[in-house]
Structure 1
Amino acid sequence: MTGAEVPTVRSCVAALLVLGGLAMGRDAVTLRLVATGALVVLFLWPEALVGPSFQMSFAAVTALVALAEHPRFRTFAAARDEGAFRRIARGLAVTLATGIAVELVLMPIALFHFHKAGLLGAFANLIAIPLTTFVVMPLEALALVLDVAGLGAPFWWLTQQALNLLLLLAHGVAASPMATLLAPTMGMGLFGITVVGLLWCLLWRTGWRWLGLAPVLIGVAVTFTAAPPDILITGDGRHVAVRTGKGMAILRDRAGDYVRDVLSESAGYDGELAAIADLPDARCSRDLCAVGVKDGNGRSWRLLFTRSTVLIERSDFARDCAAADIVVSDRGLPRWCHPRWMKIDRRLLARTGGLSITLAKGEVHTVHRVGDAHPWIVRPPRGSGRPKSQL
């Protein structure tokens, strides 16, 4: 009914192992359970290892199991003879602790794949989990049973109100300025170091486990302190985002929400994207747009973008190309267009994919990597290597 998605398979394997462990009188919730589920998924879909679904699903469960196996947490969460108020408070504290543990473990993975991480999910779960467990699910079960006699309508209405309350909570948390934390793109090597540190913390059971905090903290700190890119260019060359002194600006102000969200998240910018044509240092026509920006060192850069497919007079275009440091176009630029630093056109982007440029450091990062053999990547003809003068 739900499809063989990674979390579904993991949950199914875990449920079967838990039932088998309980039948044999064994402690069923262990890291071996997580490892077995991971092996089953990787045996069937080995490519799932690099996907966010596999990584976040198993990281969250591993964090929960590792926390549950900790002697102090197990002692604190164990049932005992106490008053109702203290029992409820203890349950909320356990829920909050597990939520915070999951949020912390998922943060590096979310930053790598989505350039943002949640901050308030653990606190929202204090309301969402009891509401779902003790209100929504019992009402749905009761409504299904009474539907046999045609009497389920009132309980479906109550279920709807409970779900509306859950959605109100979700929208309220999402609207908070502290709901998510944005960061620039995390490098592959930095992500690998962070994941190794996480696994070290989660898999060890002795004091050695805390040594893994060092690479985790280094990875997260470097990600948040890294200089965000100054220029982002999509793989087709149509959309360009430029960092200005007051935020970010986009070349085509009619770009859809998807393009805007991708560019904002990749730049670690949480705000509205202005139009490049509206910037004070911009000089734009229907076909071309030239703008001046400054990098982190205070150096001025001149950027030139094409905005249409209209053939531009050679004398004017050659002059503008020579005056620009970087020229970006979604079509093939002529050979006589010679900017001071980079010429980015359709031919170059076919080999590199989207680009991010940090002007102060002169760094250029590409989507396509050397040796990338994915079948959906269009490879350039043999002998048309990347011009060294362009990157």
Structure 2
Amino acid sequence: MSGVGTLARGPGAPPAGAGAGSPARFGAPLPLRRPAAALSDRLAAERGRLALWLPVALGAGILLYFGLRSEPSPAWRWLPLPPLAGALLLAARRPHLAWGVGLLAAAARGGAGPARPAARLSPPLAVPARAVVVAGIVESVALLPQGRRVTLAEARLLAEAAEADAAQRASSEAAPPLPRLVRVRLRSDDPARPMPGDRVTVRALLRPPAAPAYPGAWDFQRAAFFSGLGASGFALGPASVEPGAGRAPPLAALRARIEARAVAAIPGEAGAVAAALLTGGQSAIPPTALAAMRDSGLAHLLSVSGLHLAIVMGVAFAVVRLFAAALPAALALRISAKGCAAVAALAAGGFYMILAGAEVPMRRSFAMAALVTLGILLGRRALSLRGLALAAAALLLLDPVQLLGPSFQMSFAAVLALVAGWEWVRPRLAAARLARAESGWAGRLAGRALVWLAGGVATSLLAGAATTPFGLHHFGRLQLYGVAANAVAVPLTSVLVMPAGMAAVALMPFGLEGLALAPMGWGVEAILAVARTVASWPGAALALPPLPAWGLAATAFGMVWLCLWRTGWRALGVPAIVLGLSSGAFERPPDLLVSADARLIALRVAGDGGGAFVQRLAGGSAFTRDAMLRAWGVEGGAQAQPFPESGEAAGGAIRCTPAACLLRPREGTADALLVRAAPRGPQENARHALLEEACAGGAAVVVAAEPLRMRCRGAAVIDRFRVWRDGPHAVWLERDGARVVSDRAFRGARPWVPPPPRPRAPAEPPAPTE
């Protein structure tokens, strides 16, 4: 009977005789915890990780500011105060809610951060279209494969002696200096050797920073605005140098001397790479060597970063520790050898950071090195996610525009993945170490070798996987054999190249740097050989369409979610990463791109018989062409085809005559007309007829030769006047027409975007003379 009773009650029923006060009487379900309580418990378990999200919130606010289409009002700067006050009021009673409001305050602070320097910086320069004589104090000198490039501060534009009398020239020299830097490339045969602090006067042709290659591409004008650059150009004559006429930035002259001596002592490409490793300047490296390093996954060795700083500080730490061990026992027992070595290593790292230009990876690495040094002095561990968060927050508060650059993004992504991976594997390594302790010496030696090898491979894989999405977004390239190249090149850099470089810098005051630069050159040659070998392997570097901005943001958020949390819900970051990496499938790139001078017009034809087609007029920039093609995952101009002179191409998607081309890059979309005949030429009648037909029922009309001088109400028009006014254009051809986006519409009215140019007023006729 008892069995029958059990079956009747069911396996989940309360036992017979359960009292009326039992919560499960008559099979009632157990009460479930409320979602808010479950979330509160989850946050309580992650309490120590909440502070790590403050720099993430700062970055989100910075991205919000740069995503605006117009400059916010001055009240935007006070936006962080209300949520900050709310967080302080909630801190005692509702700590988790206070953290949420605090993250909102951090995001508001991040959004207000770039607004202050943007309002304080001087506007972009109005550079004369003709050649001018520019004079200024040399702030830095960059070696080029051919010649030199100088950056001038306190620059003045002088009237040319052949065109102005003495009074006009004196008034030009008395004019206030330009508020922005000017960069001039000297002639390759110029014998002048200016140094930082000298005054240089040279006749040059200057241009303001270029607009993006296409709407949504990298914004050179924004980068130049926040860096202080106003114009760049090239010299038309020899430069005259007045030594020691001004003050140079700290260590700028020393940096130039070290670079010149390294290039002189080590011939060829190896000398340029050695100079880059010592001073951070990559301008002297030939393009072939840069391409090999990039395609093999070794380009990070050329950018002075945490690896180089760690080597410098590690060598300095070991030398000081060895010197302290050689001290007499009476003195050695009274000092902390480890603490002294840590402080000396930090000083060496700070000197190297300033010498190499204090770029973003160096500043991030030095900030973390300072925390590690503090941890050594206090007897605590400082290499953690909290130290990384402090370094990120400091850099974002001091220089928020760096968040948009690939250097900041890739540097912090790699370190975040490495530190989070170490936190995950550390307890497992401790357990494995205990297991190895019971084995013999052979087992312990084999275990250490296996751990060292696995650690090196895992480090390359983690750092490579973390930086790949950012490389795809900014450069549209994927390196497949970076692990193999780094397995050889990184030990060479750590053991031979950088220690020899440090010894060379120490020997330069005595003129003995050649003793150390020679082995450094051997190591650099070996690294270049590895780069060329790996880059020559099939499929070493794949050109892919760049990740959309929202896809990169989703991927970055997923990575941060996965790395910062500690409990099981960290796995929710994986779907965000997958969504971001697959974002290209939901984003259709433009079908047609027109450059800012209309000298480059590129078309992408979908389908098996398609590809990229480019019309390049005289003066069209190869750099802009390659940037436009990268938007479609096409590598360089060699893979692009010109539009046919006449006939069809791409399976009939392009039909050309000498006057124009009819374009239909996708099935079922409207047509675009590319007019390319010269005005008043032999094809004038055919050109005019095609224009009238396209304006009546076409989707877009692109006129490369001149401004369109006829009414066109039925189609979107892109001509020389419109790109001169609004910058490059992107066109998406749809079934019912064309969607056209100009660069000015994409970026909006921001301080770094030049205002629309005004047409020149017609010259007044001369007054009649009596």
Q: Shorter-chain TM-score: which interval?
A: 0.7 to 0.9
Match of 2:691 in 1: 321
**Aligned partner (choices 24, 40, 48) of residue 378 of structure 2:** 24
Query: Cα gap change, 1:135/1:371 in structure 2, threshold over 3 Å: closer, same or farther?
Result: closer
Aligned to 1:276: 643
Provide TM-score, normalisation by structure 2.
Answer: 0.44
Amino acid at match of 1:322: E
Aligned residues: 378
CA distance in 1, matches of 2:399, 2:508: 40
Over residues 326-364 of structure 1, what are the superposed CA-to-partner deviations in whole Å (9 max), with x where a residue is unaligned? 322356633525385321123433565323334357554
Change (3 A) 1:156 1:379: closer
Q: What is the CA–CA distance in structure 2 between the aligned matches of 1:248 and 1:376, rounded to whole Å?
A: 31
Greater displacement, 150-159 / 31-40: 150-159
Flag the structure with larger Rg. Answer: 2
Deviations 1:105-152 (A, max 9, x none): 222222222333433323321111111112223444555667788776
Q: Do residues 377 (structure 1) and 753 (structure 2) align?
A: yes
The aligned amino acid for 2:378 is M
2-structure distance, mates of 1:297, 1:381:
38
Partner of 2:710 in structure 1? 336
Mean Cα deviation higher: 250-259 or 126-135:
250-259
Report the alpha carbon displacement of residue 217 of structure 1 after superposing the two structures with TM: 0.8
Structure-2 change in CA distance of 1:164 and 1:378 (3 Å): same
Secondary structure at the residue paired with 1:334? coil
C-alpha spacing 1:86/1:144, structure 2 compared with 1 (3 Å)? farther
Quote the sequence identity (%): 33
**How do residues 173-252 of structure 1 correspond to structure 2 at under 5 angstroms?**
173-223=534-584, 226-244=587-605, 245-252=609-616
The answer to whether 1:295 aligns with 2:665 is yes
Counterpart-to-counterpart distance in 2, 1:373 and 1:78: 59
1:385: which partner in 2? none
- The partner residue of 1:266 within 606, 627, 631 is 631
1:214 Cα deviation from its structure 2 partner:
0.8
* 1:40/1:95 CA distance change after superposition, 3 Å: same
Aligned to 1:359, the other structure's residue is in SS state strand
C-alpha distance in 2, partners of 1:224/1:135?
45
Structure 1: runs of 5 or more not aligned? 383-391
For 1:295, give the aligned amino acid. Answer: P
For residue 19 of structure 1, report the CA deviation from its aligned partner.
0.5
Q: 1:387 corresponds to which residue?
A: none
Query: Taking structure 1 as reference, are residues 343 and 72 closer, same or farther at Cα in structure 2, changes over 3 Å only?
Result: same
3-state SS in 1 of match to 2:367: helix
Q: 1:255-298: per-residue Cα shift (whole Å, max 9, x none)?
A: 4541232122111123622211367425354xx5x234443336
The alpha-carbon distance between structure 1 residues 373 and 122, as it changes in their structure 2 partners (threshold 3 A), is farther
The answer to whether the 8 A contact 1:92-1:126 is kept is no
> d(CA) in 2 for partners of 1:73 and 1:278?
68
Equivalent residue of 1:267, what SS? coil
**2:486 pairs with 1:110:** no
Q: 1:133 to 1:277 in 2, by over 3 A?
A: same
Determine the C-alpha separation between the residues in 1 that align with 2:677 and 2:457. 51
> Partner residue of 1:52?
406
- Post-superposition Cα deviations, 1:293-321, rounded to whole Å, max 9, x if no partner, equal 4433365735313376x555864433121
* Deviation digits for residues 170-212 of structure 1 (CA, Å, limit 9, x no counterpart): 2333344533343334433333322222211121122211211
Q: Distance between the aligned counterparts of 1:209 and 1:364, measured in 2?
A: 41
Taking the aligned partners of 1:351 and 1:260, their CA distance within structure 2 comes to: 20
C-alpha spacing 1:156/1:54, structure 2 compared with 1 (3 Å): closer
Corresponding letter in the other structure for 1:41: L
Deviates more, 1:240-249 or 1:222-231: 222-231
Maintained 8 Å contact 2:646/2:657: no
Corresponding residue number in structure 2 for 1:41: 395
Q: Which residue of 2 aligns with 1:167?
A: 528
CA RMSD of aligned residues (A): 3.4
